[in-house]
Amino acid sequence: MNVSNLRTLWLSLLTVCLLACDRIGQDMAPVDADVTNTELFVLPDNKVAVDLTTLSNLQRTATYRISRQPQSGTLSFTANGLLIYQPNTDFVAGDDDFSVSATQQGVAMPVPLTVKMAADAEATPCEAGALPDRAETPAGQRVNISVLKNDKLCNGTLDPATLSVAVKPKAGTVRIEGETMVYTPTSTTFTGRDEFIYKICAGSGSSSMCYLAPVLVVVGSPGRDCQVALRDDRVIYRHLFVTDSLIIPVLANDQLCLSNRSLPVTITKAPTKGLAYILMRSSVPTIVYKPNATAEGLDNLTYQRCVNGNCSQAVVRLQAKAVSPTCQLVAKNDQRTASLGTDLDAKAGRLLIPVLVNDQVCAPIATMRIVRNPSGLNVRLRNGVVIYTLGAVPQKGTHTITYELVDIKNNRTTAQAKVTLNE
């Protein structure tokens, strides 16, 4: 796979490469080298906006068509051509996938996309770019939203001058004042949820990268006459590493009204195909599920939350993605070309090569290691990504390393990652 043709969209991201401990693994079936592979990262109750024209190899594409629908969300196109993925309310952890057919110069090309659900913004690394925002305002009153405050980018700086509205709200207007977006309801009697999507860019010229993020505005007092309700959750997952676990923000789709989100959650029925425990994240309880390495099919657990002695329960349904019985572990070669003068990663002194994205993984990976590094590059592996630190004097030219995968069935495979550094 030519990694220069891989555009990873950081929307609200749980990256396949840089989670600290618990992570969600998803392998993709191998595709031809000329097909762009894209991973979308999203938070619960937040949509993803995708500008398909920014994907490599698709910039001259005339038409797009949804060729395969997602299982855990819905797709739509905006008037200005953005593709919107809206997760179902019960989709709070795990993965989803769909495909778009892109017609380019009379030839239809499949574009597979994978959606990875992040537990919360805390899990996002510095490559996240633009992250979702939420604001509340009384009916009929405007609200100032500092959308850039929670955005982050390690290899570059987001340029406030490029801030713009990509998708307008339906029940209000938005104007930009410096780094602030000002939302004003169009009716003084409107109450409820409204949302819009903004765009922000980093870099310039050929090295420019733009990001999209949603903003949810709650107008009025939604807590009034509200009843607390816990809703069931649905998680579809696939192990990539044997050490993988799922962080499930079970309260994300629950109707909590004005109640305290930090109230304890207890597991009243444990899963049968793995372990589960409570993990507090930013004072909010989540459930961590660690499936057995050989877990298949369905599993479930039940959690409970009590307020003033009144207890409610909900079920988390977990489904391991089925693997074809003829599936074989296969690693495929990767390539990354970067310019020291314009590439944001190279200028920051670090290149990331997500080598597992195009590999075929059938059983969970037990070990992954670099077996050959003839140029002596300063490289390390982290959660399936080759991280190459360039150093004070980068080694220009083409260099190759070889990595090995071993799964829990002791199947082995190797592939090369080729890195080319230009001026």
CA proximity to 45, closest of 228, 226, 256, 186: 256
The tens digit of pLDDT for each residue in 288-310 reads 999 999 998 999 999 999 878 88
Average pLDDT over residues 44-62: 74
Query: Residues 36, 117: one domain?
Result: yes
14 with 91, same domain? Answer: yes
Q: What is the CATH number of the domain that holds 189?
A: 2.60.40.60
Q: Which residue has the tokens 């196109």?
A: 77
Whole-model pTM over 0.75: no
27 and 331 in contact (C-beta within 8 Å)?
no
Domains contained in the chain, number: 4
Instruction: Tell me if 67 is assigned to some domain.
Output: yes
144 shares a domain with 250: no
* Residue 3 clears pLDDT 50, i.e. is over it: no
Is position 327 within any domain?
Answer: no
pLDDT tens digit sequence for 357-414: 889 999 999 999 999 999 999 999 988 889 999 988 889 999 999 999 999 999 999 9
Residue that terminates a domain, selected from 123, 141, 168: 123
Residue 141 lies in a domain: yes
* Torsion, CA 320, CA 326, CA 327, CA 330, rounded to 10: 170
DSSP E strand stretches across 327-396: 334-339, 350-353, 365-372, 379-382, 385-389
Instruction: Looking at the structure, tell me whether residues 204 and 299 fall in a common domain.
Output: no
pLDDT in tens, 70-80: 999 999 998 88
Co-location of 139 and 210 in the same domain: yes
Give 62 or 41, the one with higher predicted confidence: 41
**∠ CA 205-179-252 to the nearest 5 degrees?**
100
Which stretch, 66-70, 80-84, 154-158, 406-410, has highest mean pLDDT? 406-410
pLDDT (tens digit, 9 = 90+) per residue, 100-132? 888 877 778 888 888 888 877 665 656 667 888
Domain ranges, residue 247: 233-320
**Quick one: pLDDT at residue 298?**
95
Write the CB contacts of 390 (distance below 8 Å, at least 6 apart in sequence).
346, 349, 350, 351, 378, 421
User: Quick one: 10 and 117 in the same domain?
Assistant: yes
CA dist 212 → 202, 413, 417 (Å): 12, 37, 30
416 Rama sector, left if φ>0, alpha if ψ -120 to 50, beta otherwise: beta
Q: What is the CATH number of the domain that holds 11?
A: 2.60.40.10
- What integer pLDDT is reported at residue 59 of this predicted model? 58
> Are 412 and 406 contacting, i.e. CB atoms less than 8 angstroms apart?
yes
Sequence letter at residue 36: T
251 belongs to a structural domain: yes
Residues 200 and 308 both lie in one domain: no
329 belongs to a structural domain: no
| DSSP string covering 146-203 | -TTTT-B-SSS-EEEEEEEEEE--SSEEEEEETTEEEEEES-TT--EEEEEEEEEEES
Mean pLDDT of the chain: 83
- 17 within a domain of the structure (yes/no): yes
- Same domain as 190, residue 238: no
Q: How far is residue 6's CA from residue 15's CA, in Å, rounded to a whole number?
A: 14
**pLDDT tens sequence across 241-267:** 999 999 999 998 887 776 666 778 999
Q: State whether 21 and 97 are in the same domain.
A: yes
Q: Are residues 311 and 346 in the same domain?
A: no
Predicted local distance difference test score (pLDDT) of residue 126: 60
- Distance in angstroms between the alpha carbons of the first and the last residue of the chain: 23
Residue 304 sits in a domain whose CATH number is 2.60.40
